[in-house]
Amino acid sequence: MKPIPPALRPRSQWGTIPWAPTIYGRSVLGLPLEVWRPRGRCERLVFAAIHGEEPETTWALSRALRQLAAPPEHAAVVLAANPDGLIRGTRANANGVDLNRNFPASNWRAGTVTSRATIDLPSDVGLGTGTAPASEPETQALLALITELQPEVVIALHAPLACIDDAHATDLGRRLAERTGMPLVPDVGYATPGSFGSWGQEQGVPVITYEFPVIANEHTMMLHVPVLVELLTGTLP
C-alpha cells in the first residue's frame, strides 16, 4: 500500500512556522537552540547548519517544515545547530570551533583543521576543534537531544558536495540517492576526525549526510525541498 500523501498548507501560508519549538540548549552567544519535536515517537532527526556558512540547508529545511499542515508525526527538526555561525556567516561557532570536528569520537584530535573557502580552492582556512571533545555548548546540547529523542536515524544537511553519504548504504540512503539523483557514497573521500558521523558510527547511531550540490538557491528549493517534505512526513518512496 502506498503511503498517504501528507496534507500541505497553501503556499500563501508558507511565511511562518505555525508551531512553537522547544529550546534544547544555548549557543556560545546565548542564542536558543531550537527543536521542533514530533507528535509521536521520534524516528528521524533532521538538522541543518552545523556549519554556519551553509545557510541553504536552513532555508530548505525551513521551507519544507513550513509546507506541512501539521507537525511531523515522527520527525524532529533542528533548523540551525550552529546559530552563531549562521548569523555571522562563519563555518565555525563563535569560539572559532568547527562543530563538526568537536564530537567525542575516538578520532577527535586537538589542534587546527582546514576547510575550503569555495569548493574549487585549496583547503587552507584554519579552524579549531575545541579544547576537548564536546567542549562546545552546541555540541553538548545536540548530544543530549539525541540521547533524549533516541531517533532511529539522524539526517545531517550539508553543502556543497552533492552526494548522499551513508556508510551502511541503508534503504533510506539508497532512496534519497535515487530521489535526488546524487551518488550514494560510503564517505566524503577525506578524513573527518571528530565529526558527527564518526561519533554516530561508534555509538550505533545511524547517520546519513545529505550534501546539497552547488546550485542556485531557487533550484535548491525546487529540487530538494520536496525531498525534505517526504523525509519529514515519512512518505519518501
Q: Which positions are annotated as active-site residues?
A: 211
Q: Give the C-alpha separation, 53 to 145, whole Å.
A: 23
Quick one: 32 exposed, middle or buried, by C-beta within 10 A (0-12, 13-18, 19+)?
A: middle
What is the C-alpha separation between 68 and 226, in angstroms, rounded?
A: 11
Q: What contacts 146, CB < 8 A, 6 or more positions away?
A: 45, 154, 205
| Neighbour tally for 43: CB within 10 Å | 17
What gap in Å lies between CA 162 and CA 174, rounded to an integer? Answer: 14
